[in-house]
Amino acid sequence: MRNFRNYDMWKISLKLSAEIYQIVNKFPSYERFGLSGQMRRASVSIVSNIAEGSSRSSEKDFAHFLQISLGSAYELETQLYIAQQLGYITKEVLDKLLSEINSIERQVYEMIHRLTCK
């Protein structure tokens, strides 16, 4: 059985999710159920789908959950651009978070490729 705790993509995603929670807590209160809620859900989805997928017995099923995780990463990336355009985060914060997300996206994509191109 795979241990999700051993994957760097999971470790980085877990850290990213905590960072997102801290950042969106500073957003305006009217965004609580809007953009900040979406960003929290997307960040949790990234790390959760890596973990859930690792429990699946087939590589095809694991790859499916990784695809969902990858989609959530792209979603969060887009939401960060929106947050920056609205002035909720600085360009520096955006760049830092995008670097982390891009690392996750690369690792997830590479794992999907390894699982499906045998």
Task: Write the CATH number for 47.
Answer: 1.20.1440.60
Residue 16: its pLDDT value, please? 98
Record the pTM: 0.94
CA distance linking residue 83 with residue 59, whole number of Å: 36
Q: How many domains does the chain have?
A: 1
- Which range of residues forms the domain containing residue 105? 4-116
- CA angle (94 as vertex; 53, 17 as ends), nearest 5: 30
Ordered per-residue pLDDT tens for the chain, 118 residues: 789 999 999 999 999 999 999 999 999 999 988 999 999 999 999 999 999 999 999 999 999 999 999 999 999 999 999 999 999 999 999 999 999 999 999 999 999 999 999 6
CA distance linking residue 30 with residue 33, whole number of Å: 7
